[in-house]
Amino acid sequence: MDKKQSRLQYKQDKKGGLHRWKQLMLLSAGLLWTCLGFSQTPHTLLWQISGNGLKKPSYLFGTMHILCTDDAHLSDSLRAVIAHIDEVYFEIDISDMSGMLGSMKYMRMNDSKKLSDLLTPKEYDRVKAYFNRHAAMLPFGMLERFKPMLISSLIETAGLDCQTTDGMELMIMKELRTYNKPVNGLETVEFQAGLFDSIPYEQQARELVNYVDSSDEYKKMTRQLAEVYKEQDLDKIDSMSRQGDPSMSGHMDLLLYDRNRKWAKTLAGLLPKKSLLVAVGAAHLPGENGVIDLLRKQGYTLTPVKN
């Protein structure tokens, strides 16, 4: 090898070494935070899962399902994680397009119920008028048989006040195209939609009317949640989930904590086999019933990663 080739090889090795060193630093930055002993949850959505006999670390990331497009982007840390892990787990397998398209039947109420069966004529007219005024949403005729809490979620999405929206799951999916890595789900669409059958439809319908009557207030709350998410403040996300959303009040075990416990048990069987990125709604991460603490109780080390 001549001197010119030697210099070129040195530059390539140095560049590759620096790149690997940079990725290692990104993935390990949270160790310092733990050593400093924060009393509050560190502001990050990305956590490394290690210990408990794992040969390779896995990662936990808190998503927000809908964000303004300008706010939905991946950090260098998360990109580095995606490059290193073996498989991604979302709440549901969003790569299964046939399953997603077939999920519409699970959105509908049982027994052919319609929204008009659950509301007074005046209430029904107010809800219908609201959705007719917001042409960007699904036509109201399609929504009449949907479970009311799912209809309420459309009002929350509209509260972001941006022309185009995206979700963190979709951004991760776009990044995954580079690597062609497997995608899976901790739950099925059928299971998720079935959760709302455990809450009386009449109660859901009343909460929907409340959303419509106070839509400006809930739009403000949605924007606040998006800001808190951008700040990566899991403690505030936890507080807002428990106190701020009336559709969640009284149903935290059903919609959040019971699912967290099931996921922690499922992950205990998955983590020893492969290095995973587990990307679920950020509200599932914090608190004593959150996935972070539940995995710690199983003996894993959860380390915040700068994001």
Q: Is residue 197 part of a domain?
A: yes
Q: Is the pLDDT of residue 86 over 90?
A: yes
Please report, for residues 12, 41, 238, the alpha-carbon distance to residue 232 in angstroms, rounded to integers and kept in the order given.
Answer: 36, 10, 11
Q: Which domain covers residue 144, as residue numbers?
A: 45-305
Range with the lowest mean pLDDT among 116-125, 211-220, 232-241?
211-220
pLDDT of residue 243: 72
Q: Using one digit for the tens of pLDDT, what is the confidence trace for 242-288?
A: 775 555 556 888 989 999 999 999 999 999 999 999 999 999 999 99
Contact 79, 154 (CB under 8 A): no
Banded pLDDT at 296 (limits 50, 70, 90): very high
**Number of structural domains found in the chain:** 1
Q: Is residue 168 part of a domain?
A: yes
Both tokens of 203, joined, read 């109660």
pLDDT of residue 134: 76
Q: Is residue 30 part of a domain?
A: no
DSSP 109: P
Q: Is residue 10 part of a domain?
A: no
Q: Is residue 20 part of a domain?
A: no
User: Which tops the pLDDT comparison, 63 or 32?
Assistant: 63
Mean pLDDT across 31-50:
68
Q: Is residue 13 part of a domain?
A: no
Q: Is the pLDDT of residue 292 over 90?
A: yes
Q: Is residue 26 part of a domain?
A: no
Q: Is residue 12 part of a domain?
A: no
Q: Determine what percent of the chain falls in helix, strand and coil, rounding each to the nearest 5.
A: 55, 10, 30
Banded pLDDT at 155 (limits 50, 70, 90): confident
